[in-house]
Amino acid sequence: MGNVADGDVVGHFRLAYQAVARFPVLIVPPLVVGIVPFGLVFLIGGAAAVMGGLMGGAVGGGAGVMMGGVVGIVLGVLVFALVMGVLWLLSSGMVVVMARDALAGREPILGDALTAVLGRLGAVVGASSLVALAVWIGSLFLVIPGILAAVCLMFTLPAVLLDGLGAIDGMRRSVAVVRAHVGTVVGLVVGVLLVLVGLVIAVLILGMIPLLGGLARFVLSAAAVSYLTVVGVHFYRLLRAA
């Protein structure tokens, strides 16, 4: 995909953009996961409410139907959240694996990426859960420690998927990479924030366009997720090798 100077942060962001533009299949995983909730809401929510109502009715008659329906809906929400969490992890992991191929100039293959993530699903779930817990705990202390935790652990998923590390080792690798390249990581974070600001502005503008504006916002958000993932993978590979 070309070379840029190590200190050229803008050039690295441009290189990641070129990878996404050359291989638009990179945005497919978040697009698919973004569509799935519409079907799951009716499938899981409706089934849970019906099952809860039937079980409640069998136990407590009419009042039991209502109570069972409410319990079923609550359980449906929990199942929905769990399913969506797993799907987003699969999507994020797939983009990480595909980003490696795209940055190397190879055509990313969805099936191969899914297989790779499923093969490391335990480590991916463990690492993501531990990172989320660390950020949450840090956020309890005036927010800033949570932000620092998020930055220090930002390379955990690439470390787990691209280097075959376990959850804890992946977190340690991420912290080590960030500590060894603080200046570059600060530039990366600033660049990501600028991209997010641009995304928010674009989404607000597109929101003024009827019908097609909503579709455009959806696609743009998915593309932004994939792009920033490619940026993260590129910086991780660059800094890890430095």
Per-residue tokens: 139: 């956020």
The reported pLDDT for the residue numbered 10 is: 87
Q: Say how far apart CA 34 and CA 222 lie, in whole Å.
A: 8
Q: Which residues contact 111 (CB under 8 A, 6 or more apart)?
A: none
**Residue that has been written with the tokens 């803008």 in this structure:** 10
Per-residue tokens: 57: 């009715």
The reported pLDDT for the residue numbered 176 is: 96
Q: Say how far apart CA 131 and CA 48 lie, in whole Å.
A: 31
Where on the phi/psi map is residue 139: left (φ > 0), alpha (ψ -120 to 50), or beta? alpha
Q: Say how far apart CA 44 and CA 40 lie, in whole Å.
A: 6
Closest among 242, 241, 234 to 158, alpha carbons compared: 234
The reported pLDDT for the residue numbered 46 is: 47
Domain residues of the chain, as ranges?
9-119+181-241, 120-180
The reported pLDDT for the residue numbered 159 is: 97
Closest among 161, 151, 70 to 121, alpha carbons compared: 161
Q: pLDDT tens digits, residue range 101-125?
A: 999 999 999 999 999 999 999 999 9
Q: pLDDT tens digits, residue range 7-53?
A: 678 889 999 999 999 999 999 999 988 877 655 555 544 444 444 44
- 201-234: b (≥16 Cβ within 10 Å) or e: eebeebeeeeeeeeebbbeebbbbbbbbbbbbbb
The reported pLDDT for the residue numbered 40 is: 55
Closest among 151, 156, 159, 155 to 135, alpha carbons compared: 151
User: What is the distance of C-alpha 79 from the center of its chain?
Assistant: 19
Closest among 226, 169, 191, 199 to 23, alpha carbons compared: 226
Rounded mean pLDDT for each run of 10 residues along the chain, 242 residues in total: 62 93 95 73 48 45 49 63 84 96 95 95 94 91 88 96 95 96 93 94 86 82 94 94 78
The reported pLDDT for the residue numbered 58 is: 44
